Chain A
Amino acid sequence: MTAFGTPLKRKEDPRLLRGEGRYVADLKLHGMTHAAVLRSQHAHAAIRGIDLDRLRSDPRVLDVLVGEDVAELPHILCIDAEETTRPFTQPLLAVGKVRYVGEPVAVVVVDGDRYDAEDALALFDVDYEPLPAVTDPEAATADGAPLLHDDTNVCDVLEYATGDTQAIDRAPHRLSRRFTTQRHAGTPLETRGCIADYDPRADQVTLWTSTQTPHGVKGSLAYHLGLRESSIRVVAPDVGGGFGSKLQIYPEEVLVTLLATRVRRPVKWIEDRWEHFVGTTHGRDQFHDIEVGYDDDGTIVGVRDHAVTDTGAYLARLTLVEPFIGVAMLRGPYRIPNFEARSTIVVTNKTPMNPFRGVGHIQAAQAMDGMLDLIARERGLDPAEVRRRNMLTPEELPLDIGVGNVLAGPVVYDSGDYPEALRRALELIDYDGFRAEQEEARAQGRYLGIGIGCYVEETALGPYETGTVRVEPSGQVVVLTGACSSGQGHQTVLAQIAADELGVSPDDVVVVYGDTDVVRDGVGTYASRTGPIAGTAVRNAGAAARRKVLKIAEHLLEASVDDLELRDGFAAVAGSPERKVSLAQVAQAVTAFGPLPPGIDTYGIDETDVFRPPTNAFPYGVHIATVEVDIETGVVTPLRLAVVSDAGRLINPLIVDGQYQGGVALGIGGALLEEIVYADDGQPANPNFMDYLLPSVDTMPEVLLEHMHTPTPHNPDGMKGCGEGGAIGPPAAVANAVSDALAPFGIVITRTPVTPQRVFALLVEAGVVGED
Chain B
Amino acid sequence: MSTHRIAVTVNGLLREAEVPARLTLADFLRERLDLTAAHLGCEHGVCGACTVLVDGETARSCILLAVQVDGCEVKTLEGVADGGELHPVQQAFWEKHGMQCGFCTPGIVLSTLELLERHPRPTREQITESLGGHLCRCTGYVKIVEAIEEAARVLEGART
Binding site for B on A (CB under 8 A): 9-10, 12-14, 16-23, 25-26, 28, 113-115, 187-191, 238-241, 243, 270, 272-273, 486-489, 654-655, 657-658, 661-666, 688-690, 694-698, 700, 703, 726
Contact = CB atoms under 8 A, between A and B. Distances in A.
A640 to B, nearest CB: 12
Contact of A19 (B27, B76, B128, B134): B76
B20 to A, nearest CB: 8
Given A18-B81, A239-B101, A690 B139 contact: no
B14 interface: no
Given A115-B27, A189-B41, 12 more contacts: A9-B95, A13-B99, A17-B81, A19-B80, A26-B36, A240-B41, A241-B100, A488-B100, A690-B44, A694-B137, A697-B131, A697-B145
Given A9-B95, A189-B137, A703 B142 contact: yes
Contacts of B100: 241, 487-489, 658, 662
B135 A17 contact: no
B46 to A, nearest CB: 4
Interface string B102-136: 11111001000000000000000001100110111
Residue among B86, B90, B94, B97 with the highest chain A CB neighbour number at 10 A: B97
B140 A662 contact: yes
Nearest to B22: A115
B34 A28 contact: yes
Contact of B44 (A9, A20, A270, A689): A689
B49 interface: yes
A696 B132 contact: yes
Nearest to B95: A9
Given A9-B95, A688-B42, A19 B37 contact: yes
20 contacts: A9-B94, A13-B97, A17-B81, A19-B36, A19-B37, A25-B39, A115-B23, A189-B101, A240-B101, A243-B137, A273-B44, A488-B100, A489-B100, A657-B97, A658-B138, A661-B142, A664-B140, A665-B137, A697-B128, A703-B142
A22 B20 CA distance: 26
A16 to B, nearest CB: 4
B97 A19 contact: no
B18 interface: no
Contact of B86 (A18, A23, A689): A18
A243 B105 CA distance: 18
A489 B86 CA distance: 20
A9 B128 CA distance: 24
Contact of A663 (B77, B103, B140, B144): B140
A575 to B, nearest CB: 38
A190 B103 contact: yes
Interface string B24-38: 000100110011110
A17 B86 contact: yes
A489 B94 CA distance: 12
B10 interface: no
B93 A688 contact: no
Contacts of B103: 21, 23, 188-190, 240-241, 487
B151 to A, nearest CB: 12
B65 to A, nearest CB: 12
A23 B50 CA distance: 14
Contacts of B78: 18-19
A440 B135 CA distance: 36
A189 B136 contact: yes
Query: Across chains A and B, which 5 residue pairs bring their CB atoms closest together, nearest first?
Result: A487-B101, A19-B37, A240-B103, A665-B140, A16-B102
Contacts of B30: 25-26
Interface residues of B, number: 55
B63 to A, nearest CB: 12
Given A17-B93, A241-B101, A696-B132, A666 B143 contact: no
Nearest to B131: A697
B66 interface: no
A110 to B, nearest CB: 14
Contact of A16 (B76, B97, B99): B99
Contacts of A114: 27
A9 B102 contact: no
A13 B94 contact: yes
A270 B41 CA distance: 11
A34 to B, nearest CB: 11
A239 B105 CA distance: 13
B67 interface: no
A694 B135 contact: yes
Contacts of A654: 97
B102 A273 contact: no
A690 B144 contact: no
A488 B34 CA distance: 26
Residue among B46, B95, B144 with the highest chain A CB neighbour number at 10 A: B46
B74 interface: no
Nearest to A186: B137
A677 to B, nearest CB: 17
Contacts of B137: 187-189, 241, 243, 662, 665-666, 694
Nearest to B109: A17
Contacts of B77: 17-19
A390 to B, nearest CB: 30
Contacts of B135: 189, 689, 694, 696
Contact of B141 (A9, A688, A690, A697): A697
Nearest to A667: B140
B43 interface: yes
B152 interface: no
A661 to B, nearest CB: 4
A26 B80 CA distance: 19
B154 to A, nearest CB: 15
A14 B41 contact: no
Contact of B105 (A16, A187, A661, A664): A16
A689 B132 contact: no
Residue among B47, B80, B86, B140 with the highest chain A CB neighbour number at 10 A: B140
B40 interface: yes
A570 B58 CA distance: 50
Nearest to B138: A662
Given A189-B39, A273-B42, A18 B143 contact: no
Nearest to A665: B140
Contacts of B134: 696-697
B33 to A, nearest CB: 12
B56 to A, nearest CB: 18
Interface string B59-103: 000000000000000001110110000100010011101011111
A207 B67 CA distance: 34
Nearest to A703: B142
A190 B44 contact: no
Contacts of B27: 114-115
A96 to B, nearest CB: 32
Contacts of B102: 12-13, 16-17, 21, 238, 240, 487
